[in-house]
Amino acid sequence: MKAIFLCVLWLTTFQVWGEVFPPDDVSAIDKPNDNGSAIILLWKKMDYETAKIFYVTYIATSPSGPFLVQPIQSSIINFKTDLPQSFGFAEDNKNWHALEITDYLLAGGEKKDMIEQNKTYYLRIGVKEGKDGNVVMHPKTFGVTPHGNYFAFNKLNNFLLFIFLTVVIIVFINLAKKNPNLFVRRIAGLEAMDDALGRATEMGRPVLFVHGLKYMHEVPTIAAVNILGRIAKKVAEFDTGLKVANWDPVIQQVSRETVKESYIEAGRPDAYKEENIYFASSEQFSYAAAVEGLMVREKPAANFYFGYFYAESLLLSETGNAAGSIQIAGTDAFTQIPFFITTCDYTLIGEELYAASAYLSREPKLLGSLKGQDLGKLMIIIVLVLGTIFTTFGWEGFSKIFWPM
């Protein structure tokens, strides 16, 4: 008791005199869940911290120095709470400073060096009052060696959610094999696809397919190519012309192969015309101009827009509308959905783009995956409702389980 009293008296006395003392509980750690390119200096928040208190850190690659001075840090910044991906959401985080170091100033203060993995760094910390005050150093040096991690534990919630969804979808795919009569709600846009192709056949005009402005390795384009495969097969069966205007040569080559295989599958390899799947332009508005030109000249009977679109969506669909084509669009580009709804006869919104291929095939296995997706959606709804209730009553812990980090 006496010791505590003396200690408090000592601290208070120093504060009254305007002196500062170094922080307690200092440590240096390798930043968790990273590639080994960062270290973190931790120290406990001091009771006397104000906006006038500054911390100075020093770094060296040898325990004997030279220690290189780093930019001073205000005591009101750099807390564990700023790094939830490393320290989570513990209540005590606000009482700890955490300075993440990814690079450091070299002698002279102009050039910087990056923190390297498997190399030991030595850190020191001091404190001063005011920017021009005298630095009071912590007596110890703290060594740390950063290492790369093989699993990002901060993404564990995401990983478990992914595993859960994967299992659910696979289970439903297997269930669909046993019970093929699964109910999937009607999607008007996809039901109308046959009508649109039939119209094109009757009118003797081509069908135009556009797959947005994303690259081949991006999911909306993969979904679009899947749909193209289905459409191409029907086009081949109906003996109608198919034009595919591409903005990217890779997509063009993939589309050619997809359409060619579909024509072979339909037993009409002779009807396949390679030049109809062509590269128009890699520039957004040049591409739009090329496709609009095609619409005005050849007046396709049906236009299909599937994929991710930007400002060209309205240019294309409004021109198609003026040309009198039946238009079916599907996009997950939130900002372009209103434009397609306005100008197209049918629009697939968001996830419907990804369900289209499965829906068109009527394959039980593919429809099963849609059912699994629905269960995932139900789970999200339950989590949202519970999260809203718990947060309303002041317990944020539940929503933080699902926090993206």
Partner 1 sequence: MKKNLPLTIAFIMGWLGILLDYIPHKVSEVLMTSITKGLMVTIAIVAFLGLYSLLNMHWIKIKRKNAGWGYSLLVFAGFFFMLIFGLYNQGDLFWKAQVEQGMVEWIYTYIFTPCQETMFSILAFFIASAAYRTFRAKSMEAGILLVAAVLVMFGVVPISGKIWSGFPEIAQWLLEYPNMAVKRAIFFGIALGVVSMSLRIIFGIERSYMGGEG
Written as six digits, the tokens of 136 are 């009071």
Strand pairing of 73-74 and 68-69?
unpaired
Closer to partner 1 by Cβ: residue 68 or 405: 405
Find where tokens 């402005």 sit. Answer: 213
Closer to partner 1 by Cβ: residue 64 or 118: 118
Please, what is the minimum distance in Å from the beta carbon of residue 292 to partner 1?
9
The amino acid sitting at 111 is K
The amino acid sitting at 67 is F
Q: Is the separation of the CB atoms in 54 and 75 below 8 Å?
A: yes
Please, what is the minimum distance in Å from the beta carbon of residue 167 to partner 1?
10
Please, what is the minimum distance in Å from the beta carbon of residue 384 to partner 1?
9
Closer to partner 1 by Cβ: residue 131 or 178: 178
Please, what is the minimum distance in Å from the beta carbon of residue 155 to partner 1?
6
CA–CA distance, 110 with 104 (Å, rounded to integer): 10
Closer to partner 1 by Cβ: residue 57 or 221: 221
Please, what is the minimum distance in Å from the beta carbon of residue 236 to partner 1?
10
Q: 3-class DSSP state for residue 80?
A: helix
Closer to partner 1 by Cβ: residue 55 or 305: 305
User: Strands, E, within 20-107: which ranges?
Assistant: 27-30, 39-44, 53-60, 68-69, 73-74, 96-101, 103-105
Written as six digits, the tokens of 137 are 């150093």
Please, what is the minimum distance in Å from the beta carbon of residue 267 to partner 1?
13
Closer to partner 1 by Cβ: residue 82 or 261: 261
Q: How far is CA 266 from the centre of its chain?
A: 38
Q: How far is CA 376 from the centre of its chain?
A: 19
